[in-house]
Amino acid sequence: MTRAPIPTLSAAAARRLWLGAQRLDEAQPFGAGPEATAKAIAHLGYVQIDTINVIERCHHHILWNRIPSYSRDDLHRAQTRDKSVFEYWTHALSYVPTCDLPFFLPDMRRRRAEPGAWFRNVADADLKKVMTLIRDGGALSIRDIEDDELVEKDHAWASRKPSKRALQLAFFSGRLAVSERRGMLKTYELMERHFDWATPPKPASARAIIDYRLDRALRAQGVVSLDSICHLDAPAKAATLKAIETRVRKRLLTPVAIKGLERVGHWAATQAVEAPPGPLEPRAHILSPFDPLIIQRKRLSAFFAYDHLFEAYVPKDKRRHGYFALPVLLGDAIVAAIDLKTDRAARKLRVQQWNWVGSGSARAHKRRIEEELHRFEAFQLAE
């Protein structure tokens, strides 16, 4: 039996599928109001959280790029009041749809059995202490614990309060949930009390988790590879490939070759290959370095011919694009990398450094980008 030839996508078509899946090709893909935040996170699968705040923190930035009317209070409501999202680890600490919680419960259970090196020094007494405080007194943050005997830090990101790492262990092992976040200050609550379950959810099976991650990647990436599905999780590749092959046999997925990337296997939903999206409007987006479009650097380079380097941890004299350079997407091309800083005292967004990349040029693109910078400034300074 002769195999059908594998469809070939141009690099532009592959980018178009990815941008459509990321919902960066529409003006208001998730609508407006508080519900839009939960919809965006449900579609993307996760929104990364990060501490750096030279501009607005990345979780708010990522959502703003897809919800023009986004308000920080909308995310607070989704987590604390509606409980439609929760925090946990994907490839990094992230907001995740609460409906996806069963797929994370097995990791939480594994943490109880084997906490890992970071939590090796958490004393049973410290864990018992924080659990008792919360069980008896209700939700609390690390600031509410004032009777710790301070210790020397064993890592730059550690705390002198032993209770902080105990809270983190209780969180990662599923005993506690982050019930509220103000800036980077987290409030912890018993997981069952936060969600107020009548019946706790059951952990998903290993096979269901593989299918979930494949579905998440297809939904948010459009065209996928093993690397893009299993980002920072190489051990999952063998099982993921089996799941892909099953769907190919059922004609739910189609192998595709991307021009210039033929050596890497890619797949897309059969329907997406048979009915590709239409032309792309040249929308401008100032993206976070942690945006789902940017975070997988090898994929970004392959699809967009742009190599993003996060230079916050690079010595100042060796930086090319600046401490916190933000890639600028215009249409289907990354045309600039702009290092920005929010001067909150002066109420201004300051351009520290502006670099054109790829096909970017002042004559062709500067006006459109400056218009988006004004909108970005208004978001930065909004209360």
Query: Mean of the pLDDT values across residues 122-145?
Result: 97
pLDDT above 80: residue 291: yes
Given this model, what pLDDT does residue 156 score?
Answer: 75
The confidence score (pLDDT) of residue 1 equals 46
Closest CA to 18 of 215, 218, 229: 218
pLDDT score of 223 more than 80: yes
Residue 260 pLDDT: 95
Per-residue pLDDT band for 3 (boundaries 50, 70, 90) equals low
User: In sequence order, what are the residues at sequence separation of 6 or more whose Cβ sits closer than 8 angstroms to the Cβ of residue 81?
Assistant: none
pLDDT in the model for residue 154: 82
The structure tokens 């046999």 sit at 249
**What does the radius of gyration of the chain's CA atoms come to, in whole angstroms?**
22
* pLDDT above 90: residue 301: yes
Exposure pattern of 269-290 as b/e (b: 16+ CB <10 Å)? bbebbeeeeeeeeebbbbbbbb
Query: Is 46 a residue whose pLDDT tops 70?
Result: yes
Q: How far is CA 196 from the centre of its chain?
A: 26
Whether pLDDT at 383 is above 80: no
What is the average per-residue pLDDT within 166-189? Answer: 97
Give the model's pLDDT for residue 278: 81
What is the average pLDDT across 341-366?
96
pLDDT value of residue 164: 96
Q: What is the pLDDT of residues 50-89, one digit of tens each?
A: 989 999 999 999 999 999 999 999 999 999 999 999 999 9
DSSP string, 327-374: EEEETTEEEEEEEEEEETTTTEEEEEEEEE-TT--HHHHHHHHHHHHH
